[in-house]
Amino acid sequence: MNHLLIDFDSTIPNLALMRISAWAKARGDKVFLNSANATPDEIWLSAIFTWHKAKALNSIEMYKSQFPHAKIHYGGTAFDWGRVNRIQLPPEIEATEPDYELYNDDRAVGFCQRGCDRKCQFCDVWRKEGRIANNKYRRLRDWVPNGFSKVLLLDNDLALAEEWKHDQVLNDAKEMGIKLSITQGYDIRCITKERAQLLAENKPWDTSFRARMLYFSWDYPQIEPWVRRGIEILEDAGFTGRQLTCYTLIGYSTTHEQDLHRIDVLWNDYGVYPYVMAYNNDKSDPWTKALVRWVNKRWLFKSIPFNEYSRNPLRELPEPDVKLDTFNIGGRVI
Ligand code: SF4
């Protein structure tokens, strides 16, 4: 049997597709990833981001007409956002360890524990995965394959896990000599001096493992005191502002003034890079589009004030000839 796996939009190796690949190969089947030359018996479509919903649904029809005899499976938030019955992998595939050869990537990917105990309305995690305690916990040492020293942790709210689990994840990473990337961000409202110390002992990495980086988010303007307190505790523990990146949601329930204020506080008060995320990736509003471009292109952000840039955001500016960091954010669904 031939299996065609289609990865629409993953920014990191797709865990579900890697499990499907391992399961299929264990049956003696052949697996093709995003191939235009395969003749599939089964097709597996994965799309994560809600703004790809229309494209993802159209692709089902396209593959049906192209391969009328193939069995088509699909999953990911782009397909099941808003549905009561969410799409799950069959249990035997969910229980299969991922096939890392699929992406030929040296980063292990997985969860110690899924779920989240908060209920942010713009987010799908709590609807899809429920509370943290309702999900199985696995230690890093139980799922990180031998020989892997880089781990992309997908837990959505490690900071809200029980204290002993939170500490165990970070201590296991240190003891195993693992570089950990907390891809979905660390809930800065939950930071304490003890936690900051533990994080600083084996500082997390960005998703490409080029630099030490702790991601966190500031979605609600009202939590400013917690954000300030959290950054200050982290800096006291040894983090520099440059080792922190703040996902900053705009276009959901905030005003332009509140958006600019958060960016101003992060950068000018603490030297922390904001990473602006437009709600549902909707940049139809020119101001939103300009802000996303200005903030997320670091060289623009550093070289020109927003009020100057936003007057003529489409004009060409010379790019710097030095290589600046790029940011490959995780899969947090907004
Ligand atoms: S945005 Fe983060 S804290 Fe809020 S529900 Fe989603 S995972 Fe939880």
Q: Which CATH architecture has domain 2-94?
A: 3-Layer(aba) Sandwich (3.40)
pLDDT recorded at residue 22: 98
> Which residues does residue 214 pair with via DSSP β-bridges, in sequence order?
244
Q: Which of 126, 189, 190 to mutate to test the pocket of ligand 1 (most atoms within 8 A of CB)?
A: 126
> Which residues does residue 179 pair with via DSSP β-bridges, in sequence order?
150
CA of 155 to the centre of ligand 1 (A): 11
pLDDT recorded at residue 310: 86
Residues 119, 130: Cα–Cα separation, whole Å: 10
Considering only CA atoms, which of 111, 108, 243, 99 is closest in space to residue 176?
A: 108
pLDDT recorded at residue 314: 62
pLDDT recorded at residue 318: 55
Residues 96, 108: Cα–Cα separation, whole Å: 14
Considering only CA atoms, which of 168, 122, 178 is closest in space to residue 333?
A: 122
Q: Where are the beta strands (DSSP E) in the chain?
A: 2-7, 30-33, 42-46, 71-75, 107-110, 150-153, 179-182, 214-217, 244-250, 273-278
CA of 123 to the centre of ligand 1 (A): 6
Tokens 């005003």 -> residue: 255
Distance of CA 120 to the CA centre of its chain: 16
Backbone CA torsion sign across 123, 246, 215, 166: negative
Residues 177, 201: Cα–Cα separation, whole Å: 12
pLDDT tens digits for range 159-204 = 999 999 999 999 999 999 999 999 999 999 999 999 999 999 999 9
Asked whether 77 lines ligand 1 (CB < 6 A), one says no
Asked whether 93 lines ligand 1 (CB < 6 A), one says no
What single DSSP character describes residue 176? T
Q: Which atom of ligand 1 is nearest to the CA of 123?
A: 6
pLDDT tens digits for range 286-322 = 999 999 999 999 999 999 999 998 887 766 555 544 4
Asked whether 235 lines ligand 1 (CB < 6 A), one says no
- Supply the residue whose CA is at minimum distance from atom 4 of ligand 1: 120
pTM equals 0.91
Q: Which atom of ligand 1 is nearest to the CA of 126?
A: 5
Orientation of helix 193-201 relative to helix 224-237, angle to 10° = 50
* DSSP reduced 3-state for 304: coil
Tokens 């990736």 -> residue: 281
Q: Which of 81, 116, 155, 220 to mutate to test the pocket of ligand 1 (most atoms within 8 A of CB)?
A: 116
Question: Is 106-309 in CATH node 3.30.1550.10?
Answer: no
For the chain, residues classed under CATH 3.20.20.70 are 106-309
Asked whether 125 lines ligand 1 (CB < 6 A), one says yes
For the chain, residues classed under CATH 3.40.50.280 are 2-94
Q: Which of 77, 111, 157, 190 to mutate to test the pocket of ligand 1 (most atoms within 8 A of CB)?
A: 157
- Supply the residue whose CA is at minimum distance from atom 7 of ligand 1: 156
Which residues of the chain fall below pLDDT 50?
320-334
